[in-house]
A and B are shown apart, each in its own frame.
Chain A
Amino acid sequence: MSSVIAIVCFLVLAPFLGGLLDGLDRKISARMQGRIGPPVLQPFYDVRKLFNKQTIVVNKAQTFLMLTYMAVQIFVGVLFFAGSDILMCFFLLSTGATFLVFAGSVTHSPLSTLGTNRELLQMMAYEPAVLLTCLGFYLAPPDHTFSVSELIQTPVSLILYLPGFFVAFVFILTIKMRKSPFDLATAHHAHQEVVKGITTELGAKNFAIYTITEWYEKVFLLAVVALFIVNDNPLSYIAAVIVALAVWFLEILIDNTCARVKWDVLLKVTWVVTLLAAGVNMLILMLVF
């Protein structure tokens, strides 16, 4: 029963939460740059407007691909909040991301193609860290399990066993949330050299779908961050929310202080951090427990 409530809450509240976080993100970024910034509800105004525009589709398959992308990413969150298998969640997340890659590449626009290639590269960069994080959750004592509903009932917060995994996961979150310095495929900021990268050829409505999917995804990713903190003590949920928000703020700070890097730097840095932080932590876990 409680999992049904969690699912419904996720389905209904996640877009509002994601949009609100997005709006606060833009506000905080503006303040960091000495500007006033748009209203906090701006992302909702944007999506409403996008849905109101004329439909232009470059390729008919694109709308289908974008809808599939959205459906899969939402389903990932549903699985997670239902307390299902975390490994399954992340596999599905990557499957969903490939639909975005398809949607970006069906149009044959050079900018979109370049963005798509970079998206694939980003996936290559963050996938090891994601898989290792799942493995970390499994290796953590006491009960070796992938099941989220069991992982939230551990006697102590998992971050105590998995600090390295936490570092690696937060690091790749910068890529997943499309924050500078790792926003190669598409950026939230004005121009970049590939215009809007993978989303360049999305018409207004498809772009709205993309934005809403991003909100769902953001909530899911922050929920995974919270999973590191949650234990069988109800008070830990408050701590988890605070940590998730702190991580979110850290991403904004990184976004506003770092310049975009080239793809080879992205790949090298991410893999080195993943290997050092998550890899070493994994070795310790395997040898000790």
Chain B
Amino acid sequence: MGKVKKSPWVLHYDGASCNGCDIEVLACLTPVYDAERFGIVNTGDPMQADILLLTGGINAQCQEVVKQIYEQMPRPKVVVAIGTCACTGGVFKEAYNILGGADTTVPVDIYVPGCAARPQSIIDGIVKAVALFQQRSDEHDKEKKTGRREEG
């Protein structure tokens, strides 16, 4: 049913990072980049979110949190890893408590590289995520009709 791509609500979680990417994500919502013009809302609530933005690597402490956030999000949903840390573990990769990038814990769909990732590339990543979100939503509707469910 319909175009959901006009209303992607993002949820942002900052894992084990230097907070550089964290700040760049917030910069996307400022007047210069104004992500809200695409209908993007930065919601804090996983139960109402569509796109999960992860910044920073995953460590033993935040792994459970990330898992839980992901599970609380209703389908269809998309995960975006932002910054080198979230993609691979980045500069913290060798640290004793770092498990690696976001994909060690949840299935990541889109990787946005950069240290820190620039707002332009973050918005680019989100736009790609929105396209994927629409595709998943269409599949979700089909499943609802046929009663079958696949992953996603």
Q: Please indicate the chain B residues that have their CB under 8 angstroms from the CB of A199 in the complex.
A: 45
Please judge, given known A-B contacts A42-B6, A191-B44, A196-B44, whether A37 and B34 are in contact too, CB under 8 Å: yes
Tell me if A196 and B4 are in contact (CB < 8 A): no
Q: How long is the Cα–Cα vector from A41 to B7 in the complex, in angstroms?
A: 11
Tell me if A46 and B31 are in contact (CB < 8 A): no
What 10 pairs across the A-B complex have the smallest Cβ distances?
A54-B74, A45-B6, A34-B31, A195-B44, A54-B75, A35-B34, A49-B7, A45-B7, A49-B4, A53-B74
Q: How long is the Cα–Cα vector from A53 to B136 in the complex, in angstroms?
A: 11
Please judge, given known A-B contacts A56-B72, A191-B42, A204-B74, whether A30 and B48 are in contact too, CB under 8 Å: no
Number of chain B residues whose Cβ lies closer than 8 Å to a Cβ of chain A: 29
Interface-centre pick from B43, B48, B140 (highest chain A CB count, 10 A): B48
Q: Which parts of A197-212 form the interface with B (CB within 8 Å)?
A: 199-204, 207
A36 within 8 A of partner (CB): yes
A142 within 8 A of partner (CB): no
B124 within 8 A of partner (CB): no
Q: How far is the CB of B106 from chain A (nearest CB, A)?
A: 17
Q: How long is the Cα–Cα vector from A49 to B137 in the complex, in angstroms?
A: 9
Please judge, given known A-B contacts A49-B50, A52-B137, A203-B47, whether A39 and B2 are in contact too, CB under 8 Å: no
B62 within 8 A of partner (CB): no
Q: Is the interface of A mostly helix, strand, loop or mixed?
A: loop
Please report the number of residue pairs spanning A and B whose Cβ atoms sit closer than 8 angstroms.
89
Q: Which parts of B4-51 form the interface with A (CB within 8 Å)?
A: 4, 6-7, 9, 29, 31, 34, 36-39, 41-45, 47-48, 50
| B interface, CB within 8 angstroms of A | 1-4, 6-7, 9, 29, 31, 34, 36-39, 41-45, 47-48, 50, 72, 74-76, 137, 140-141
Q: Please indicate the chain A residues that have their CB under 8 angstroms from the CB of B41 in the complex.
A: 46, 190
Q: Please indicate the chain A residues that have their CB under 8 angstroms from the CB of B50 in the complex.
A: 49, 53
Q: How long is the Cα–Cα vector from A143 to B70 in the complex, in angstroms?
A: 61
A55 within 8 A of partner (CB): yes
In the complex, what residue of chain B is closest to A195 when comparing beta carbons?
Answer: B44
Tell me if A52 and B47 are in contact (CB < 8 A): no
Residues 1-39 of chain A: 1 if any B CB is under 8 Å from the residue's CB, otherwise 0? 000000000000000000000000010001001111111
A50 within 8 A of partner (CB): yes
Tell me if B39 and A45 are in contact (CB < 8 A): yes
In the complex, what residue of chain A is closest to B141 when comparing beta carbons?
Answer: A52
Tell me if B36 and A30 are in contact (CB < 8 A): yes
A144 within 8 A of partner (CB): no
A268 within 8 A of partner (CB): no
Q: How far is the CB of B4 from chain A (nearest CB, A)?
A: 4
In the complex, what residue of chain B is closest to A33 when comparing beta carbons?
Answer: B31
